[in-house]
């Protein structure tokens, strides 16, 4: 479920080039927060990596769909 959500979010953000930079920063911060939570609470690292990869793939896919206006 997290992988699907990550990919969907990344795809949507990738399709919005005007605010892409802001969301990329937020995504990076989210990744850091999730990493800290993983270290503290022992959430599956494999699941975390899958979600982050899905988010990045979604961003790339969305970026390829539209030309970059920024």
- Grade residue 70 by pLDDT with cuts at 50, 70 and 90: very low
Q: What is the pLDDT of residues 1-57, one digit of tens each?
A: 566 777 777 777 666 665 666 666 777 777 777 777 777 666 666 677 767 777 777
d(CA 8, CA 23): 13
User: Of 67, 69, 61, whose CA–CA distance to 13 is shortest?
Assistant: 61
Q: Quick check: pTM over 0.75?
A: no
Q: What is the distance between the alpha carbons of residues 30 and 42, in angstroms, rounded to a whole number?
A: 17
H-only helix segments in 1-70:
2-14, 20-41, 45-65
Structural Rg of the chain based on CA atoms: 13
């Amino acid at each position: 479920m997290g992988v699907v959500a990550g990919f969907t979010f990344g795809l949507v953000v990738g399709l919005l080039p005007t605010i892409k930079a802001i969301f990329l920063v937020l995504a990076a911060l989210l990744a850091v927060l999730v990493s800290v939570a993983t270290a503290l609470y022992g959430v599956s690292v494999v699941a975390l990596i899958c979600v982050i990869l899905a988010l990045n793939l979604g961003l790339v896919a969305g970026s390829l769909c539209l030309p970059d206006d920024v």
